[in-house]
Structure 1
Amino acid sequence: MNTKFSNPVLMKEIKLRFRSPKSFVGILFYLAAMSLFVFGFLYLMTTLDAPGTGGGFLNTEESFILFTILTYIQLALVLFITPGLTAGSISSEREKQTLNMLLTTTQTSYQIILGKLLSSIAFLALMIVSSLPIYSLVFLFGGISPAQLALMLFYFLLTTLAIGSVGVMFSTLIRKTAVAMIATYGTMLALTAVTGFLSVFTASLGFAGSSAGPSPMAHFWASINPAVVVASLLSPGSGNILSDMTGIEFPVWIIYLIFYTSLIILSVFIAVKKLRVNMKAGN
């Protein structure tokens, strides 16, 4: 049973990644930057005698603002670091001419792809989990429930897996790491900036029509936008605003879950199927 479910590729990649001092130096600087921001925010909010605060403490609204800012910082981390960690997973092996040797082992294509993906995701997951003590500071001032924090962690994991799967897929399909990285970052931008633009554009077309009605496409584009979904999870009232704009009351998180789960499955499937096909074409 242990042999059946073991993944030597995953274990090797994790050991190589986590034994490198650069990995922990990167986490150290990331946590240091977040700590400076949080303590700076707390210092400013507790020393400025703003109206309604009384000074010396944070109220629940300011605590929620801090949590929201930290959440979007984590989202930026996921969106911009994940492509760099995964887009070279297979193409770098090809460029170093070590992929042929890897394919001659008893490891299946699924084990190779999954090992490369999960080892990259594990490092980013460690960065997110290591920031939990900083996140926990908001519980001192209220306004945030543990359920919201757990929901955000699940959201980050799903988004990381989706973008990481796309990165591994492009790394398998494209021979050059630089081109694969550009394609992955392009997909990430399409899922954020382009979907946001299309949502506003299609909603405006509905308002400009002679009879404004439901706009399913505007609702769909907004539902797969990571920033919009974060806003809906942090503040359920923002989902009502979106429903008023599009005329659709279907929860955005359900569409997000279905779309990104499908994206993960499709990307991994393509990567597994194309891994050995590309090698047969020659190096």
Structure 2
Amino acid sequence: MGIKMRINPVYQKELKTSVRSFRTALILFGYNGILALFGLFAFYVTFEYDSRYGGTVDYAAILRIYAIITAAEFGLVLFTVPALTAASISSEREKQTLEILLTTKLTPFQIILGKLASSISMIILLAFSSLPILAIVFTIGSVTLKDFTEFMLLIVSTAIFIGSIGIFFSTLLKKTTSATVSTYGVLMVLGLGTLAVLWAIRIIVEIKMNQLSAGAIYKPDPDIGNWILILLMNPAVTFLSMIEAQIGTGSRVTDFFGHFGTISVNIQRYWFFISIILQLVVSFILLGCSAKLLDPLQERCCKKKRRR
């Protein structure tokens, strides 16, 4: 007997609707067409133009092409996923179809997972479809299959992480606009807010150290301790740590950490994987909270408590 895989009905319905549309094919063609043109142009500049007029070929430029393409795809996830997921539940509520969805045999958690999967599936599809274009760096080596695997792991985990934030606000708030603004706001806090907090703590520590060591010849650099670990929740730092390890861009991330003090060598070495695991754990917690908020029984209990 064959094993029949059960696909989430919500995801299956959304997937059929999106895949059958001409818009999906057009997006795939346009996105990969632009990346392919960029890659071909970069190859021409690197091997044809530089060798003809400069006399040398800068092979490191190919690695920069890889970094730029992956950064573009990562940026696509950061700016697109919030808009897609923030409307997943709130739009059903606005169309007054959420009650019908809740009357099905699906549990609230299954509905949440289906909405998340359908929202981020296009982004992940775009990332996987661009792998042949990224593979142009195989012609000169340096970037391996392991690096590609890490990049796809980053794209999928970041999409789930940001998507879970969007799903949470989409469930918590009634309006799509409010959910979208809140999701982008949290993303700004994770990206820029964590850096601002670290710099503020560093300035405070530096002021206190200057007061304590007033008149001393040697003044030690400020160390904010484990506060730097909040950057594990910053997707941009996760991406930069991956790129630095893959293409050897020097020690820019390491030098950046040095401005705030010292951290464990093992944490710094495995920063990429620790960050992904932590973000996935937070994602699971947010999805669980979203399922509870979506549960009709839970919602009724909350309303009764408010009346009391």
User: Matched residues in 2 for 1:150 and 1:70: separation?
Assistant: 15
In structure 2, which of residues 248, 254, 259 is the aligned counterpart of residue 240 of structure 1? 254
Matched, 1:267 2:281: no
Contact 1:198 / 1:218 at 8 angstroms: preserved in 2? Answer: no
Q: Which residue of 1 aligns with 2:177?
A: 178
Q: Which residue of 1 aligns with 2:217?
A: none
Question: Per-residue CA shift, 1:41-100, capped at 9, x if unaligned?
Answer: 222223433799745x551x1121111111111110110110121111111111111111
Contact 1:173 / 1:274 at 8 angstroms: preserved in 2? Answer: yes
Q: Which residue of 1 aligns with 2:229?
A: 220
Extract unaligned runs of 5+ from structure 2: 211-219, 246-250, 304-308
Contact 2:164 / 2:283 at 8 angstroms: preserved in 1? Answer: yes
Q: Which residue of 2 aligns with 1:253?
A: 272
Evaluate the alpha carbon distance shift between residue 102 and residue 191 of structure 1 in structure 2; reply closer, same or farther with a 3 A threshold. Answer: same
User: Matched residues in 1 for 2:290 and 2:70: separation?
Assistant: 31
For 2:21, give the aligned amino acid: S
Q: Which residue of 1 aligns with 2:94?
A: 95
For 1:16, give the aligned amino acid: T
Question: Per-residue CA shift, 1:125-151, capped at 9, x if unaligned?
Answer: 101000101100111122212211111
- Structure 2 residue matching 1:235: 3-state secondary structure: helix
- How far off is 1:217 after superposition? 4.9
Match runs of 1:64-75 below 5 Å: 64-75=63-74
- How far off is 1:165 after superposition? 0.8
Q: Which residue of 1 aligns with 2:306?
A: none
Q: Which residue of 2 aligns with 1:143?
A: 142
Evaluate the alpha carbon distance shift between residue 202 and residue 45 of structure 1 in structure 2; reply closer, same or farther with a 3 A threshold. Answer: farther
Match runs of 1:182-221 below 5 Å: 182-208=181-207, 209-210=209-210, 211-221=220-230
For 1:247, give the aligned amino acid: T
Contact 2:77 / 2:158 at 8 angstroms: preserved in 1? Answer: yes
Question: Per-residue CA shift, 1:182-215, capped at 9, x if unaligned?
Answer: 1111111111122233334434444553353532
For 2:286, give the aligned amino acid: S
For 2:279, give the aligned amino acid: Y
Contact 1:82 / 1:164 at 8 angstroms: preserved in 2? Answer: yes
User: Matched residues in 2 for 1:190 and 1:2: separation?
Assistant: 45
User: Matched residues in 1 for 2:231 and 2:100: separation?
Assistant: 44
Q: Which has the larger radius of gyration?
A: 2
Q: Which residue of 1 aligns with 2:19?
A: 18
Evaluate the alpha carbon distance shift between residue 4 and residue 157 of structure 1 in structure 2; reply closer, same or farther with a 3 A threshold. Answer: closer
- Structure 2 residue matching 1:49: 3-state secondary structure: helix
- Structure 1 residue matching 2:87: 3-state secondary structure: coil
Matched, 1:123 2:122: yes
- How far off is 1:239 after superposition? 4.3
Evaluate the alpha carbon distance shift between residue 98 and residue 2 of structure 1 in structure 2; reply closer, same or farther with a 3 A threshold. Answer: farther
**TM-score scaled by structure 2?**
0.81
User: What fraction of aligned residue pairs are identical, expressed as a percent?
Assistant: 31
Contact 1:109 / 1:276 at 8 angstroms: preserved in 2? Answer: yes
- Structure 2 residue matching 1:214: 3-state secondary structure: coil
Extract unaligned runs of 5+ from structure 1: none
